[in-house]
Amino acid sequence: MSAASAAGRLPNWRLVLNVFLPFAAGYYLSYLFRTINSLISEPMAADLGLDAGSLGLLTSVYFLIFGAAQIPIGILLDRFGPRRVQSALLLAAALGAALFGASNGFLSLLLARAMIGLGVAAALMAGLKAIVLWFPRERVALMNGYMIMLGALGAVTATRPAEWLLNSMGWRGIFGVLAIATLAAALLIVLAAPESKITQQARPAGLRLHVIFTDRRFWRIAPLSASCVGAAWSLQALWAAPWLTDVEGLNREALVTQLFAMAIGICVSALLLGTIADRLRRRGICSESLLALVALSFVLAELALILHLPLPLMLPWSVVTVVGAATVLSYATIAEYFPTELAARANGSLNVLHFGWAFAVQSGTGFILEQWPAQDGHHPLIAYQVAFGLSVAVQIAALAWFSVPWIRELVGWIIRNLSHHGSGHEDPLEAIIPPVEISIMDAHECGEW
């Protein structure tokens, strides 16, 4: 009997307690590890004498290892199932957290952070895989939304609740608690989650990654999604706090309040974007259209920060928060582009670029800031403007590339309407921009390019 068929015989409370909550706990810890450095960066840097470049590299190595592991972990999940893979990797994360809390040097901190990144790299994919295996098909989308929302509570915990722990036990004590919690989550998955029958199923016929990486539609969305989502993760996971302190002059209490509000925004945004995308799709509007609108809003919000416009702080940073949850739209778009048997590997491939760009922005920002001398421990506005500006330039280029088919269609429509009907003239843009191919997805799934 397959896992999918067994799911229908499990009562709802068993599905929630034995499948959903254990894997949601793992994703919650993943999000907490991702964003905790934003809160502890100042006391940790003061304790160990870390500069902005070292701090950026130390925090961003999480993204580098996380991203590099996505495709291999996806293969392991398909082969061995989420219970085995997630529990084993969480043990590595627990060891990394313990090492991080005990470290006194940069290299040991870097190794520990890399272990944490590897240990939680399967958190979301394992949860989504478990939902597909055990929950009824009609409930998968709803449970995915709940999974992302509950996981994002880790970002909430990394603000005011973690600040209370920081004041009472220091940043080392926090990682001791995280090591214990991560070990407990691994044991919970082993003891509570059912063993899937995936190992008895036939292995997938080849990786077929070439189908993904040679598809024009993937390379249309990937630069936009990666440059925006990766940058938003970088800001929220680390550089939002130094900006708010150095540029806006917030004290510790105001800073933690701002970070707390942004973390709450991730949870709300994940459900909101998913709901809006679902309703727009019912009206024939693709998820990629909403993604483009979110990306444009992100560029405008970053420009407002770079130009230091006199706006309420929550306005641009709320947009940053929304973009951090925009993977909901990216995954939905990928699902429209590729058939079911390729969707997981396509999402993993896209995640490689998400986390790779997050690594580049997070570490690169630190090195750029170091080019300007700190004044009383604070970096000047111009340093942040240069760092953020380079990221925005990439996003604008990605947005322009993403919009090429729409621009081509608009210009072609204008030319056709200005031309005489029935002239038979060929579209002059054909020679410059070839028409986009729809090689896998049926045209009715997401409109025509």
Q: Give the pLDDT confidence of 350-361 residue by residue, as tens digits.
A: 888 998 999 899
Asked which of 179, 198, 217 is the last residue of a domain, the reply is 198
Cα 420 → chain centroid: 49
Domain count, the chain: 2
- Same domain, residue pair 143 and 242: no
162 and 289 inside one domain? no
Same domain for 52 and 94: yes
Pair 125, 73: CB distance under 8 Å: yes
Range of the domain at 47: 1-198
203 within domain boundaries: no
pLDDT at 52: 85
Q: Are 178 and 234 members of one domain?
A: no
Shared-domain flag, residues 141 and 243: no
pLDDT given at position 349: 86
Please indicate, yes or no, if residue 102 is contained in any of the structural domains.
Answer: yes
171, 43 contact by CB (below 8 A): yes
Q: Which has more confidence, 296 or 125? A: 296
Residue 423 lies in a domain: no
How many whole angstroms separate alpha carbon 220 and alpha carbon 200? 37
Same-domain check for residues 191 and 228? no
The answer to whether residue 219 sits within a structural domain is: yes
Tell me the CATH number at 85.
1.20.1250.20
Q: Say whether both 269 and 167 belong to one domain.
A: no
261 and 407 together in one domain? yes
Q: What angle do CA 31, 121, 352 make, to 5 degrees?
A: 105
Asked whether residue 385 is assigned to any structural domain, the reply reads yes
Q: What is the pLDDT of residue 212?
A: 85
Co-location of 25 and 75 in the same domain: yes
Task: Please report whether residue 326 resides in a domain.
Answer: yes
Mean pLDDT within 137-152: 73
Looking at 198, 223, 240, the residue that finishes a domain is 198
Same domain, 279 and 172: no
Token readout for 175 is 């990682």
Last residue of a domain, one of 198, 224, 244: 198
Rounded to the nearest angstrom, the gap between the alpha carbon of residue 434 and the centroid of all alpha carbons in its chain is 32
The residue that leads in pLDDT, 279 or 253, is 253
Interval 81-136: pLDDT, tens:
889 999 999 999 999 999 999 999 899 999 999 999 999 999 988 887 888 788 77
Measure the CA–CA gap between 317 and 273, rounded to whole angstroms: 17
- 222 has pLDDT over 80: yes
Strand partners, 378: 375
- 325 within domain boundaries: yes
> In this structure, is residue 395 part of a structural domain?
yes
Nearest to 128 by CA among 111, 144, 106, 110: 144
Q: Are residue 277 and residue 297 in the same domain, yes or no?
A: yes
pTM here is 0.75
Same-domain pairing of 194 and 238: no
Tokens of 54: 């070292």
Q: Does residue 165 have a pLDDT over 60?
A: yes
